[in-house]
Chains A and B, each alone.
Chain A
Amino acid sequence: MNPSIPPSTAEYGGDEVSAIVLDPGFSTTRAGFAGEDTPKSLIPTYYGKYAVEGQERLIFSDDVFVTPRPGLSVHNPMGRDGIVEDWDMAEKVWEYSFTSRLTGPRPGNPFQNGLNDIADGELPTEMDGVETEEKPLADSPLLMSECGWNPTKAREKTIEIAMEKWGTPAFYLARNGVLAAFASGKASALVVDIGASNISVTPVHDGMILKRGVQHSPLGGDYISSQIRALFKTNTPQPITITPHYLISSKAAVDAGQPSLAKYKTFPPEKAPDASYRTLLEERTLSEFKECVVQVWPGPNKLSATGPNGVSNEEVAKNNPGRPFEFPDGYNQVFGLDRYRVVESLFDAKAAIPDPESPFSAPTQAQTVPELIKNALNGVDVDIRPHLLANVVVTGASSLLHGFTDRLNQELMQSYPGPRVRISAPGNTAERKFGSWIGGSILASLGTFHQMWISKKEYEEHGPTIVEKRCK
């Protein structure tokens, strides 16, 4: 390199910006640097709250799982519908997601951080004009994702936090359905997203979401957990209680179906964490159960239907080899037909396992995946329906349930025998879990993307309403 010639922009990376991509979900919040393959920071959106001597303390990230502190309660700033409910806490959780692993904590006030203390006998230097508080994203553009039904108010609040609280120099808010479609190479697609608190179907056409067609329902991963709990209550040979690891001091091996011989830890009431803590930890066992045991009946037809040769599908499912599962207290059992039953209501509402105590009300047929797809298609122009059906993109961590895409394919072929139905679902687990984050990561890393960003100056000129105009 010739030192007398200044480097061109390309050489010193004038276009390269260390943008941060933030994809906030109900169960987890994903954050990372643009251009990387997977989000470096993956934290639960849940946070813990407890009090020490009357002072409220907060716990973020995986730390929330670790210690059963007295009175520790678990909360989530997001609503079950995927829209933020508690903005103050959402801001804190999101900020934690990037300051903990990516940008480092906010620097303290330079007057008090010790570096500027005045030595004895020295005169104080002029410190006017020093920013007392540096904002955490002052150097990084921020691309965030949102669900297709995020209301205008929430979008404006999001840009307000990013610009005013975090001080980002540039911002963009992208629909996660569009990001997932693009990541599969498609500008037009029907995006089926199976998340924790929600399942959604988003028609994307020519790079835009078709709002009239967007459908969502609460039959996501957490609903499946509630079905598994319902199953456990009526389980044979004995009902199953999930006892999380923190309540077990030792366990012994027992034969399948035999009562647990574990020794339990007990907490006196004043030392015990809140019930919400236990629920969160039970949820971890349930996640494991979903990954190892649960399987979607692959079709064709419902689990309750009869197959072509007169044998009922349930009978076929029963004869498939069962899967064993051991609970934290040592209780273990092989699950046969039941491992299909707990997810069947995603496709057939009548198959739901009833549980009057469940926080989820019994599902309606309109909430099932095939009906959501039908309604999404009915909400869009008839000419583009075949294009959407030929480009069904499946994303979201709960879509990784064994057999999910096979069943979806069967259901769609049955409902739409005419047009060609094709499902594309990344085989790679990370791509399925982080589909929209990865899409955002690629876009925000492109040098050419700079023209899409909303700059701080534009925000100051137009206010939060600019997000509606620019991020369609």
Chain B
Amino acid sequence: MSLASGVTITDECINKFNEFRMTGGSKGEKSKFIIFKIADNKKEVVVEEVSSEKDYEVFRETLASAKDNNGRPAPRYAVYDVEYSLGDTEGNRSKIIFISWVPSETPTLWSMIYASTREVLKNALNIHTSIHADDKSDIEWKTVLAEASGGKAGK
């Protein structure tokens, strides 16, 4: 076991994520992203928002404008369903990417808690593709696309 905060992942996170993974096609409207946060009691990760908004920029803006109770920039985790096309022969693909967002203004206390809980959440959701961002330029669409497609799409 690597060094971790011990902050737990609520069942809600797992359930919402499983729904998120299963939806789409005939099963109803497809969710595009989930934003998670660590509750103010510093004990558990909870779901903040599930959305089916298709515009990536809306997601990016939502994540980057996350605020704490005092209105200062705050860290978050997110999962995003990246859809991309590999051209006519390979067709369309989709991949779920895990994003940790810890803006550089974050107080050390919260940086520490988010960094030391990241692997626990990522492993609980069983996602292997991830990026870490502390600046809005880290989560531009082309970066996310390149990471999700293993560098194959968006060239």
Known contacts A207-B3, A451-B6; A438/B104 CB under 8 A: no
Contacts beyond the supplied A184-B115, A185-B134, A442-B109: 13 A-B pairs with Cβ under 8 Å? A182-B116, A185-B111, A185-B115, A187-B100, A206-B2, A206-B122, A387-B132, A431-B108, A438-B108, A439-B108, A443-B112, A446-B7, A471-B3
What are some 9 contacts across the A-B interface (CB < 8 A)? A178-B3, A183-B108, A206-B122, A207-B2, A387-B132, A438-B108, A443-B5, A446-B6, A451-B6
**Residue in chain A with minimal CB distance to B7:** A448
Contacts of A200 in B (CB 8 A): none
Interface residues of A in 406-428 (CB under 8 A from B): 424
Q: Please tell me the size bucket of the interface on B.
A: 20 to 34
A177 to B138, CA, bound (A): 23
- B124 within 8 A of partner (CB): no
A448 to B113, CA, bound (A): 11
Q: Please tell me the size bucket of the interface on A.
A: 35 or more
A172-191 CB mask vs B (1 if < 8 Å, else 0) is: 10110011011111111000
Known contacts A187-B100, A206-B119, A472-B2; A446/B111 CB under 8 A: no
Contacts of A206 in B (CB 8 A): 2, 118-119, 122
- B34 within 8 A of partner (CB): no
Contacts of B7 in A (CB 8 A): 446, 448
A451 to B1, CA, bound (A): 11
**Residue in chain B with minimal CB distance to A37:** B108
**B interface residues with partner A (beta carbon < 8 Å):** 1-8, 42-43, 75, 100, 102, 104, 106, 108-116, 118-119, 122, 132, 134, 138
- Are B4 and A207 neighbours in the complex by a CB distance under 8 Å? yes
**A interface residues with partner B (beta carbon < 8 Å):** 172, 174-175, 178-179, 181-188, 206-208, 387, 390-391, 424, 431, 438-439, 442-443, 446-452, 470-472
- Are A448 and B119 neighbours in the complex by a CB distance under 8 Å? no
- Chain A: minimal CB distance from B95 (Å): 16
- Chain A: minimal CB distance from B68 (Å): 14
A178 to B102, CA, bound (A): 16
- Are A446 and B2 neighbours in the complex by a CB distance under 8 Å? no
Contacts of B114 in A (CB 8 A): 185
- Are A448 and B43 neighbours in the complex by a CB distance under 8 Å? yes
Contacts of B112 in A (CB 8 A): 182-183, 185, 439, 442-443
Known contacts A182-B111, A185-B111, A447-B43; A208/B2 CB under 8 A: yes
- Are A391 and B132 neighbours in the complex by a CB distance under 8 Å? yes
A175 to B2, CA, bound (A): 10
A398 to B112, CA, bound (A): 23
- Chain A: minimal CB distance from B81 (Å): 22
- Are B6 and A424 neighbours in the complex by a CB distance under 8 Å? no
- Are A447 and B119 neighbours in the complex by a CB distance under 8 Å? no
**Residue in chain B with minimal CB distance to A446:** B5
- Are B4 and A452 neighbours in the complex by a CB distance under 8 Å? yes
Question: 4 shortest A-B CB distances, which residue pairs?
Answer: A185-B111, A185-B102, A448-B6, A182-B115
A174 to B113, CA, bound (A): 15
A30 to B134, CA, bound (A): 29
A390 to B138, CA, bound (A): 10
Contacts of A175 in B (CB 8 A): 3
- Chain B: minimal CB distance from A141 (Å): 13
**Residue in chain B with minimal CB distance to A453:** B6
A424 to B106, CA, bound (A): 13
A174 to B1, CA, bound (A): 12
A175 to B3, CA, bound (A): 9
- Are A183 and B111 neighbours in the complex by a CB distance under 8 Å? yes
Contacts of A390 in B (CB 8 A): 138
- Are A448 and B42 neighbours in the complex by a CB distance under 8 Å? yes
Q: Which of A182, A208, A431 has the most CB of B within 10 A?
A: A182
A439 to B75, CA, bound (A): 17
A178 to B112, CA, bound (A): 10
- Chain B: minimal CB distance from A432 (Å): 12
- Are A186 and B132 neighbours in the complex by a CB distance under 8 Å? yes
A431 to B109, CA, bound (A): 12
